Amino acid sequence: MTRSLRSLRSLRSLRSFRNPILYFSVALGLFITCSTALYLYGSQTTFPANVTIAGWRVGGMPYETFQSESEQRLKRLSAFPVLLHSSYPEIPAKELSLGQLGIRYDKSLLTQSLQQLFGGSLLERIKARWTLRNANIPLAVSVDSTQLTATVKGTWKDLYAKQPVAAKRLLQSRDQVGYEPERNVLRVDTAHLQEQLQIIAPSLGTLTHTAPLGLTLPVYELSPTVTMATLKQQGIDGKIAEFTTSFPSSGEGRVHNIRVTATSIQDYLMAPGDTFDYSKIIQQTETKFGYKEAPVILNGSLVPGIGGGICQVSTTLYNAVLRSGLEIIERRNHSLPVSYVPLGQDATFASGYINFKFRNNTNSYVWIRTITTDSAVTVKLFGHQTPAVTYDIDSKIVETIQPPIKYVNNPSLSPGLERPISTGKVGYKVETYRTKRENGTVVSRELISKDQYSPVPTVIAANRKDLQTEDPAPKQPMVEDGVSTLAVQ
């Protein structure tokens, strides 16, 4: 009995010793089997089953085969034809390749996905293979907008050679304001075309035919900056003032100077709040046309010079401005009276000294038109008409200044003898008013200016002991109604 118990205990000890070995052997076998399976799984050089790339089924395909075939497919995609057409006869249908249209296929996402599948560590490849099973890996499509635009412009050169023509404001008979409409041109909407191309660009798996894809070109009309609508928004609907001055037709230089200066302000446009600067007009005219010889005023005396007559244009414009109700910013009368307007209604100019400026103080644009003949210049101002409002301009002489007598010593004359050299001219002090009426009723009366025209002295030569020959202090030359004298030029 005792021996039997000992035998039983020995048998149990043997069993307890043999079971761990068996378990270890089994576990080791399973580990080796799994490891081998995982190694074989991760070491495959083919794509996992049911994988597609941009619609192309590549499951089970060797990676090397994929690389060579994918390059061929990308080349075919780039060369894939697209028939671009429209309903406009000016835009003939053209067949262009996707590559010409700037289509680009980005392989970066694909390369990143395949890098771990075929080039990573064993664990990375196992994970990637498991993750990518049944996956559809996209191929990013983009469009090079610069190339697309260049291709479109180069393909339809005749279309892009045409440029839009701005609308024009015209002066019709009886000073009616009319318009010539703008002319638009057709253009291909490349931004919209780019969106369409990205949508229809075929994938790697759709290259089953060679017939071109049909695509309707998106087209729009390109308008110029200035359209009839923008012109009408400026509020110019009629003439608001007009003034004309006359001049002798015999002075060729003066006629030229008046004509070219008037040309420089032709079609001048002022937005609300803009200020007109006559000095800029003179500079532009001198640069573009040049001025000719004609008498100018130098320090109160009429002398030969260049540009004589430019103040007739400023004076004519000034009078039109007065009668339109616009705001005068800067203006001065001539040192000598002029013959073509009443006293107090002239506007002189002296470069660096005297300028003429006015402001558009209305809510609409102001448009300047001029007409010059061989004997007259006319300035017309157009803006928003208010027929009920009119302006009257009147000037009155408030004082007449008698000319002083100036004696000059002439020793060649007999003592006590006097001889007149020149007869003086009276001077004036003048006030000018602008009266505003609404429906004929006076609503305001405005003092526009107080002007003084200095008298010209009567000059008498005499031989008197109390007279001494004086050398007058030289004056800084100030040229009015011109740009220079012949002496200083």
Tell me: the pLDDT tens digits for 79-115? 889 999 999 999 999 999 999 999 888 777 777 777 7
- Phi, psi (rounded to 5 degrees) for 229: -65, -45
More confident residue, 26 or 248: 248
What pLDDT is recorded for position 489? 44
What pLDDT is recorded for position 9? 58
Pairing of strands 405-409, 458-462: parallel
| Tens digits of residue pLDDT in 215-271 | 999 999 999 999 999 999 999 999 999 999 999 887 899 999 999 999 999 999 999
Indicate the range of 25-29, 67-71, 219-223 predicted with least confidence: 25-29
Label residue 388 exposed, middle or buried (CB < 10 Å: 0-12, 13-18, 19+): exposed
Confidence of residue 341 (pLDDT cuts 50, 70, 90): very high
| Tens digits of residue pLDDT in 420-465 | 988 999 999 999 999 999 999 999 999 999 999 999 999 998 887 7
What pLDDT is recorded for position 30? 79
Please provide the DSSP assignment of 12-34 as one string.
HHHHHHHHHHHHHHHHHHHHHHH
Confidence of residue 5 (pLDDT cuts 50, 70, 90): low
Three-state SS at 294: coil
Whether 472 has a pLDDT exceeding 90, the answer reads no
Confidence of residue 488 (pLDDT cuts 50, 70, 90): very low
Cα distance between residue 73 and residue 269, in whole Å: 62
Q: What is the mean pLDDT of the chain?
A: 88
Residue range 153-170: mean pLDDT, rounded: 96
Q: Within 10 A of 145 (CB to CB), how many other CB atoms are there?
A: 13
**In the chain, domain spans:** 1-36, 52-222, 234-485
What pLDDT is recorded for position 116? 72
Cα distance between residue 28 and residue 34, in whole Å: 10
Whether 62 has a pLDDT exceeding 70, the answer reads yes
More confident residue, 243 or 24: 243
What pLDDT is recorded for position 470? 55
Whether 372 contacts 463, CB under 8 Å: no
Whether 373 has a pLDDT exceeding 90, the answer reads yes
Residue range 197-211: mean pLDDT, rounded: 72
Indicate the range of 11-25, 134-148, 168-182, 435-449 predicted with least confidence: 11-25
Beta strands in 323-365 (DSSP E): 327-330, 357-359
Token pair in block for residue 154: 């180069």
Token pair in block for residue 375: 């004997």
Measured CA to CA in angstroms, residue 143 lies from 87, 193, 218, 250, 362 at distances of 25, 10, 16, 71, 51
Whether 47 has a pLDDT exceeding 90, the answer reads no
Residue range 330-349: mean pLDDT, rounded: 96
What pLDDT is recorded for position 4? 54
